[in-house]
């Protein structure tokens, strides 16, 4: 039987996941108020898990909470985007460095299959498939805290990607770099793979920054 504490944590995570996806997709726009009572009623929970979910999303950078004004969707910010990609470079290169000695051919094959999907998928699916491609390679590092951190960074970056994606002419370059990364992983060439990945993330950040409105 689930305890009250476990039920509350599950509800908090569920609310946070649903709100995060709505923010990433743009359904909840930057600056939009997030009323606890409205969210609680919509999701069929009490205000407590909603309050905790908003705090969790605040820590992740998706929500702003101002005393006496409540919560709202965090603003789109070029500095935030730059920070996300700086953090991605450090975290993902570290994960890849630890992952490559543990990569199996079957795991690389799975990543290559996802890349095949990515090259033919509609543009709206780019962010989710891109995350799956990268995480499939990184998961071999077997460092759950690092992987959780990277997953959140990808979610944060995807919010910006969905805003700018229709303005970007980036898919061909991204696909080429993914293929180069796969080749370096098959050779187990750690240094080359890290350099490809570093350039890939940095250039993606520059492209997104240039495409942001305003």
Q: Which residue has the higher pLDDT, 7 or 10?
A: 10
Same domain, yes or no: 40 and 95: no
Beta bridge partners of 70: 66
Per-residue CA distances from 214 to 80, 84, 97, 142 (Å): 15, 19, 37, 40
Same domain, yes or no: 58 and 85: no
Same domain, yes or no: 120 and 27: no
Average confidence (pLDDT) over 29-53: 94
Given 73, 104, 129, the domain boundary residue is: 73
- Backbone region of residue 35 per phi and psi (left: phi > 0; alpha: psi in -120 to 50; beta: other values): beta
Same domain, yes or no: 196 and 125: yes
What's the pTM value of the predicted model, to 2 decimals? 0.82
The Cα 14–Cα 50 span in angstroms is 9
Q: Is 150 exposed, middle or buried (0-12, 13-18, 19+ CB in 10 A)?
A: buried
Same domain, yes or no: 30 and 85: no
Same domain, yes or no: 47 and 86: no
pLDDT given at position 6: 65
The Cα 69–Cα 214 span in angstroms is 26
Provide the sign of the torsion angle of the four alpha carbons 116, 126, 198, 139, taken in this order. negative
Same domain, yes or no: 89 and 37: no
What would the pLDDT profile of 128-181 be if each residue is shown by its tens digit? 999 999 999 999 999 999 999 999 999 999 888 877 776 777 778 889 999 999
Percent of the chain that is helix, strand, coil (3-state, to 5): 80, 5, 15
Domain with 133, as residue range(s), is 78-211
pLDDT given at position 5: 58
Give the total number of structural domains in the chain.
2
Given 46, 73, 100, the domain boundary residue is: 73
CATH number of domain containing 191: 1.20.120.530
CB 177 within 8 A of CB 201: no
Same domain, yes or no: 167 and 188: yes
What would the pLDDT profile of 123-139 be if each residue is shown by its tens digit? 778 889 999 999 999 99
Instruction: Give 46's DSSP letter.
Output: -
Given 38, 54, 73, the domain boundary residue is: 73
Same domain, yes or no: 138 and 161: yes
- Collapsing DSSP to helix, strand or coil, 85 comes out as helix
């Amino acid at each position: 039987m689930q305890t009250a504490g476990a039920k509350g944590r599950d509800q908090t995570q569920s609310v946070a996941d649903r709100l995060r996806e709505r923010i990433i997709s743009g359904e909840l726009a930057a600056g939009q108020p997030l009323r606890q009572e409205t969210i609680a009623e919509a999701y069929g929970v009490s205000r407590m898990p909603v309050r905790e979910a908003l705090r969790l999303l605040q820590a992740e950078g998706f929500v702003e909470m101002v005393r006496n004004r409540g919560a709202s969707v965090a603003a789109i910010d070029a500095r935030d985007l730059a920070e996300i990609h700086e953090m991605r470079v450090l975290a993902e290169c570290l994960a890849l460095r630890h992952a490559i000695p543990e990569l199996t051919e079957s795991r690389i094959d799975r990543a290559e299959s996802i890349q095949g999907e990515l090259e033919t998928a509609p543009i709206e699916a780019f962010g989710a498939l891109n995350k799956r491609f990268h995480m499939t390679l990184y998961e071999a590092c077997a460092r759950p805290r690092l992987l959780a951190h990277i997953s959140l960074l990808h979610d944060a970056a995807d919010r910006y990607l969905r805003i700018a994606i229709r303005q970007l002419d980036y898919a061909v370059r991204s696909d080429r770099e993914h293929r180069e990364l796969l080749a370096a992983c098959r050779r187990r060439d750690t240094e080359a793979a890290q350099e490809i990945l570093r350039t890939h993330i940095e250039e993606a950040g520059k492209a997104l920054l240039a495409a942001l409105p305003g």
